[in-house]
Amino acid sequence: MKLSITSSVVHHLFQDNDGQFGLRLSPQLLEETGDVLGLLEELTRVYNAKPAKGYARFIEKPSEDSESEDNIPVSSETSAEQKLPFQTLVDSWLAEETNFLDFSQEAARLLKNEIADYGVFESGFLLMADYEQTADRYLLVSFIPVREGVMVQPDLSVDRSAQLDVNKLQLAARINLTELAANVDGMDYISFIRGRAGRKVADFFLDFLGCAEQLNAKKTTESLVKTVQSYVSDNELPRELGVTLQKDVFDYCGEQWQQGEKVKVDDIEERFGNHGAPSLKEYTQTKDVTLPQEFPADKTALRGLVKFQGQGGGLSVAFEQKMLGERVQYDPATDTLTITGTPPNLREQLKRFYGQND
């Protein structure tokens, strides 16, 4: 998907020999060159491919006299004094009270202070970019780690150099500025990488942004999967139709995830109607099941729509649901699974074990 860069900049955060945190600010924005565009395209590709993302909104500054630990999302009624520092910077920039370079420098200073408070750090570069893609405007905030590399200079000498390790990206968030400007209460306009950097690191980055997760994409997707499975079973749909509907939901949600778009229950309802199936919405109302009308999908949780899988006791089994009753038979009375026709690589291993190599 083609993107158009409006502004981008890189700042350097480092730790000196005395253990002090340092910040080197760029005095200018990046030029709009092919290299910069290529970097941002690669960065967004890596970001979009991360399967585990969270979704959040800006939250209000905690009240001094409040005993509640709940994070209150910013709404249309939130005053400027109730907003946290990063959102205040964003608001000032979007209102054109400051330019992108000044905004990014203040954000970098804020990040440096947050690092000092948490004591969590590794050297890296803060890359911020204002760009448009698929008719929406985004602000990407990413902290990219570095790796030591070797570069051949024009005179053919060889020097060590610090390189951006984009594939190791763990701390990044993307704010949908179009959705933020719409000011719709209940909309999760910030996505972020959950990653494997540890909860403390993830919390520090969310605190820097002044946002909190409001909707758990994995749990919501798991709820959708269970609802669709129960819908197929309770309506006693023909086996072929049930498999088709579940595969359709899997494909649709996967496409939405790939494009960074939210799943819409209305879209699933329409797809079911195209197959002549009963209404999913009426089913959820009858069963008192609550599904958000729109929500971001979690890729890993979708597998339950098309696969059976499980592991334990030294055994791991996974197969497509459409195979049940065909190549795979299950007897609930004896808890026996019978598989006809093993995968070629497994078959070869078993033949070698029994000395039956051709």
CA 198, distance to chain mean position in Å, is 16
Closest to 251 measured CA to CA, from 263, 242, 240: 263
pLDDT by residue (tens digit) across 59-70?
Answer: 888 776 555 456
Strands 124-133, 211-215: parallel, antiparallel or unpaired by DSSP? unpaired
Q: How far is 104 from 99, CA to CA, in rounded Å?
A: 9
pLDDT at position 29, please? 96
Contact in structure between 92 and 98 (CB atoms under 8 Å)? yes
324: left (phi over 0), alpha (psi -120 to 50) or beta: beta
pLDDT at position 94, please? 96
CA 214, distance to chain mean position in Å, is 14
**Looking at the DSSP assignment, which residues form a beta bridge with residue 191?**
55, 174
Show the 3-state SS of 316-349.
Answer: EEEEEHHHECCCEEEECCCCEEEECCCCHHHHHH
**Looking at the DSSP assignment, which residues form a beta bridge with residue 164?**
146
Torsion sign across C-alpha atoms 99, 180, 257, 126: positive
What backbone torsions phi and psi does residue 8 show, to the nearest 5 degrees? -150, 155
pLDDT at position 148, please? 75
Amino acid letter at 172? A
pLDDT at position 50, please? 81
pLDDT at position 185, please? 67
pLDDT at position 259, please? 80
pLDDT at position 176, please? 93
pLDDT tens for the 358 residues of the chain, in order: 688 999 999 999 988 777 778 899 999 999 989 999 999 999 998 988 887 778 888 988 877 655 545 678 777 777 888 889 999 999 999 999 999 999 999 999 999 988 877 666 678 899 999 999 888 999 999 999 888 777 777 777 677 777 788 888 888 999 999 989 887 666 788 988 876 555 556 678 888 999 988 777 888 899 999 999 999 999 999 988 999 999 999 999 999 888 878 899 999 999 999 999 999 999 998 888 888 888 888 888 898 899 988 888 888 999 888 888 889 999 999 999 999 998 899 888 988 888 876 6
CA 276, distance to chain mean position in Å, is 33
pLDDT at position 200, please? 59
* Strands annotated E in 100-215: 124-133, 136-152, 158-164, 171-176, 190-193, 211-215
180 Cβ contact partners less than 8 Å away, ≥ 6 residues apart? 90, 189
Contact in structure between 121 and 15 (CB atoms under 8 Å)? yes
CA 69, distance to chain mean position in Å, is 25
Q: How far is 186 from 78, CA to CA, in rounded Å?
A: 14
> Which H or E run includes 210?
none
pLDDT by residue (tens digit) across 203-213?
Answer: 788 889 999 88
Show the 3-state SS of 57-112.
Answer: EEEECCCCCCCCCCCCECCCCCCHHHECHHHHHHHHHHCCCCCHHHHHHHHHHHHH
pLDDT at position 160, please? 74
Q: How far is 214 from 222, CA to CA, in rounded Å?
A: 16
Q: pTM above the 0.85 mark?
A: no
Closest to 227 measured CA to CA, from 265, 191, 200: 265
